Structure 1
């Protein structure tokens, strides 16, 4: 991104996924919007400043970590109604734990047009850095994205972690580090204690840490290394496994519409 200028954008709100924190993982569309927007609102506690490296020098930058939705929405609505383009920059993908539903609803009520631009989620970046596939043939074919109930958000009883863990799928646990002992207790009731867990702290940030430990050490390592904020856990049979089964997709013995078996 070079920050030189840009053709103007239509006056609307662009709800943009910043990815986990690495500017190189922004989508091309997200980069273009950031270089062109008149106004950028970003959650500075979750999105590092480095994501704004190519914005226009005259862009209005508004930090939102200390603001409520009631503070943020009037700003976005006002700027759009005054003919300015607004990027609302969210960490990861805005549709996953991004609290975007309430923003979209109120923007629609105010007659303000908006667009959602997806971003890479932390679980995708984590799997790439761990060099694993979370869906290994004959081992695990399901990915569950979830969280444990916290102070700000309660999880419906039908989605409690203990019930989801019973599937022994690749489970990606967001927003749960402050309740890690409770999470470990519920997980270990279904996964073997030696199951590998990746503790992924501030992925894409300069102080990123990834620790792979047995499930029985998940809470201990989290506390010892103070990995509380912006932490993702991946619990999966695919971690630390040398799988021998293979997909039929590129198997010479498997035929499909575009290829006959050999």
Structure 2
């Protein structure tokens, strides 16, 4: 029997799925999808004969029942997750339960939302001499507690480019928290529903971005980016330096 397949649905656009993902969607008999974050056009890749289950109103046990029962019935079961399964997808708790039920599973990556957001604003998140690290994180509100060592203040102190997921409702207090490290004039941006028809891009600074977010009334499905790398200033990569000895491969 086929394993349950977890597939990254990308940031939302139906044409930002991988070729493998679209093939698997077309072959699936049962597709579970996150209706809150997914552009319905993505489901256009599914077979008309497939059963489609929106998981936004289901708890973990109900989702697992669909996955396990479907796979044991010999159906090709596909679990769509928004973005990429490696980030905030609940992959770990679902696959632990599938292991306990002796149900095989596999994972297909997708385009992560932060990558789509960076592409939309035309920015590289790692710029020589400015930032060579990216911190992908979230904050706690009505959600799972954050590990005690992973404070936003500590991450901001590194000067890395910050990407905040699941944090748009707290944007004002979060920007105030990072301002001492980045400064009020540091570039910042919000991309709401990147690549989807409802996409909205807000460009500003640490000092004024919260005003723009609140004026737009954004409450979910947005990525916040903060860092000096967004200014498109900095040095040049040694990789392409004319003085580099290209006879060496390492």
Corresponding position of 1:255: 245
Distance 1:238 1:59, change over 3 A: same
Corresponding position of 1:5: none
Q: CA deviation at 1:107?
A: 0.4
Matches within 5 A, 1:58-69: 58-69=49-60
Distance 1:223 1:130 in 2: 20
Task: Report if the CA contact (8 A) 2:14-2:39 is conserved.
Answer: no
Corresponding position of 1:162: 153
- Per-residue displacement from partner, 1:208-232 (whole Å, max 9, x unpaired)? 0111101111221111101121110
Distance 2:168 2:233 in 1: 28
Task: Report if the CA contact (8 A) 1:12-1:84 is conserved.
Answer: no
User: What is the total number of aligned residue pairs between the two structures?
Assistant: 250
* 1:132 has 2:123 as partner: yes
TM-score (norm 1): 0.92
Matches within 5 A, 1:52-91: 52-91=43-82
Q: CA deviation at 1:257?
A: 5.1
Corresponding position of 1:28: 19
Matches within 5 A, 1:136-155: 136-155=127-146
Q: Could you say what secondary structure the match of 1:25 adopts? A: coil
Matches within 5 A, 1:229-244: 229-243=220-234
Matches within 5 A, 1:153-192: 153-192=144-183
Distance 1:126 1:56 in 2: 29
TM-score (norm 2): 0.96
Distance 2:122 2:41 in 1: 25
Distance 1:101 1:242 in 2: 38
Task: Report if the CA contact (8 A) 1:203-1:209 is conserved.
Answer: yes
C-alpha RMSD over aligned residues? 1.4
Q: CA deviation at 1:241?
A: 3.1
Task: Report if the CA contact (8 A) 1:193-1:214 is conserved.
Answer: yes
Matches within 5 A, 1:89-108: 89-108=80-99
Distance 1:257 1:147, change over 3 A: farther
Picking from 85, 106, 109, the partner of 1:115 is: 106
Q: Could you say what secondary structure the match of 2:207 adopts? A: helix
**Structure 2 regions of 5+ residues with no counterpart?**
none
Distance 2:215 2:90 in 1: 31
Q: CA deviation at 1:256?
A: 4.4
**Structure 1 regions of 5+ residues with no counterpart?**
1-9
* 1:215 has 2:203 as partner: no
Distance 1:232 1:137 in 2: 23
User: Which aligned runs of 4 or more in structure 1 are off by greater than 4 angstroms?
Assistant: 256-260
Q: CA deviation at 1:181?
A: 2.1
